[in-house]
Amino acid sequence: MHDFIGLPAAARAEYWHDRQERAVADPGLLPTVLAMLGWLGRAQDLSASADGGVARHFSLLSGWSTSYPETTGYIVPTMFDAAERFSDDGLRERGRRMLDWLVALQRTDGGFQGGTIGQQPVVSVTFNTGQILIGLARGVRELGDAYRQPMRRAARHLVESQDADGCWRRFPTPFAAPGEKSYETHVSWGLFEAARVEEDADEARRYVAAARRNVSWALGAQRENGWFEKCCLMRPSAPLTHTIGYVLRGVLEAYRYTGDQALLAAAIRTADGVLRALRPDGALPGRLDDRWRGVVPWVCLTGSAQIAHCWLLLYGVTGEPRYRDAAYATNRYVRSTVRLDGPAGQRGGVKGSLPVNGDYGRYEYLNWAAKFVIDSCLLEEEVRAGDQEGAYST
């Protein structure tokens, strides 16, 4: 209680707000998406490092952080998707500014640093490089050859640093617990995206081979019930829904690239496992054990949105309504936590945890949370439109 009394007024107010009983009020798909895009714009403009990247978070304790290369990398495709959806050249320009900043940060070995600007040590990190590769590949698709060589350098770094069994061990992050990470299937997704825009067929084959090796290695950590070992930043016995979302999306993207039915079956096992933890109101506990039971009282809103997105992708592939309905409920729950008015740091922001003092992103609004919620909501809009026309598929 002493620590609580010492919190800033805004943090205390949000703490009490999150503990009030409330009916789930959905602000709506597009109003929420527009509010979140506004928040991401402010996160870019008001980053403490003022460099064109996106601030990692807005904290109710300390304000805007410095920019975060890793998540700025995969925010880039969200900017381009939203620019197309809303015919907004300003969002497209934001994506270009993010890319130019990232290219300037690329290290001599082709990799990208972990952590935020100003964090030490500054070293190449496999996971961060893979996430930025997603953005660089989209930059090539949208803006052309200016981003082709940075994309190739990042992809080659990943290919050349991979161990023979498909795991990446040489460039771990210094900001998580040591050890192998099955959620680096999300790195493999970056290689698949690079292969899609690579003009050199031999290079593209190298990217795909490395990506497939990693996904195959990760599937060795999947149990029969779909749960993955080695799938968390700090607590592998009870991984975050965030990192479960990473590993699931990576396996799904491997299926979408290759058409391998074994990969689809693996994704379904995990997706069905998470379904077992979903509450009727759309809430998912922030950490799940190996029997798919929630082990914490708070919700990781980022992971909820990632998994909802994966359920929607699976609905497009399988036509199974259980995935669509679960995704709608989860997205609705997450949207109900987003404010459409209020101070600049909170308006349109997505908290790390609900309640706000949960153990993930405590008292913070996270840039990647907004990104994943935008992505999932835009896909929900597409699914709803497709269902009305009777023709939705991915």
Q: Which two tokens stand for residue 42?
A: 């402010």
Q: How far, in whole angstroms, is CA 344 from its chain's centroid? A: 23
Strand locations in the chain (E): 57-59, 63-64, 299-300, 353-354, 364-366
Tell me the C-alpha distance between 38 and 96, whole Å.
17
| pLDDT at residue number 314 | 98
Inter-residue contact 71 to 368 (CB < 8 Å): yes
| pLDDT at residue number 389 | 78
Q: Report the alpha-carbon angle 229-234-238, nearest 5.
A: 50
| pLDDT at residue number 117 | 98
Domains by residue range for the chain, with CATH: 2-389 (1.50.10.10)
Query: Which of 126, 88, 80, 85 lies closest to 107 in space, CA to CA?
Result: 126
Q: Which two tokens stand for residue 155?
A: 């992809």
Would the pTM of this model clear 0.85, i.e. be above it?
Answer: yes
| pLDDT at residue number 101 | 98
| pLDDT at residue number 22 | 63
Q: What mean pLDDT value characterizes the chain?
A: 96
| pLDDT at residue number 25 | 86
Dihedral angle sign, alpha carbons of residues 297, 351, 62, 65: positive
How distant, in Å, are the alpha carbons of 48, 163, 245, 351, 377 from that of 217?
39, 10, 17, 33, 31
Where would I find the H helices in 198-335? 201-219, 241-258, 261-275, 301-318, 321-335
Inter-residue contact 35 to 340 (CB < 8 Å): yes
Q: What is the pLDDT along the chain (394 residues), one digit of tens a residue?
A: 446 778 999 999 999 999 886 666 899 999 999 999 999 999 999 999 999 999 999 999 999 999 999 999 999 999 999 999 999 999 999 999 999 999 999 999 999 999 999 999 999 999 999 999 999 999 999 999 999 999 999 999 999 999 999 999 999 999 988 999 999 999 999 999 999 999 999 999 999 999 999 999 999 999 999 999 999 999 999 999 999 999 999 999 999 999 999 999 999 999 999 999 999 999 999 999 999 999 999 999 999 999 999 999 999 999 999 999 999 999 999 999 999 999 999 999 999 999 999 999 999 999 999 999 999 999 999 999 998 877 655 6
Q: Report the alpha-carbon angle 80-329-10, nearest 5.
A: 75
The residues facing 222 across adjacent strands are: 228
Q: Which helix (H) or strand (E) holds 153?
A: helix 148-161
| pLDDT at residue number 388 | 81
In one-letter notation, the amino acid at residue 365 is: Y
Q: Which two tokens stand for residue 16?
A: 């009490």
Tell me the C-alpha distance between 127 and 137, whole Å.
16
Inter-residue contact 244 to 307 (CB < 8 Å): yes
Q: How far, in whole angstroms, is CA 290 from its chain's centroid? A: 22
Tell me the C-alpha distance between 373 and 350, whole Å.
8
Q: Report the alpha-carbon angle 285-298-17, nearest 5.
A: 135
